[in-house]
Amino acid sequence: MGGGGGEERWCVVTGGRGFAARHLVEMLLRSDIWCVRVADLAPSISLDPREEDGALGHALRSGRAAYVSADLRNRAHVVKGERHRGPNPR
């Protein structure tokens, strides 16, 4: 990962499958500075073909991005999304 220092820097994008958030996720991944945890209500992530071949698909496969199903109204979900530091949040 670029950005120097070698330490992974994770951010959580809530509502990560919405229109604006998709663009933010893409921008963060392309910066090569951030690893991104995509948090949204759906139980799993489903990518369209363009996304599958794009930055998000590659990042999910490499571990630079992860998906977590989370409802911000549920504190336990928020903590789960923020604390997880690996590619497969549960």
- State yes or no: pLDDT of 41 exceeds 60: yes
**Looking at residues 58-83, what average pLDDT do you find?**
86
Mean pLDDT confidence for 72-90: 67
Q: How far, in Å, CA of 38 to CA of 13, rounded?
A: 5
Residue in the block written with tokens 């392309």:
30
Q: What is the CA radius of gyration of the chain?
A: 12
Considering the segment(s) 10-83 as one domain, its CATH architecture is 3-Layer(aba) Sandwich (3.40)
Residue 25 has pLDDT above 80, yes or no: yes
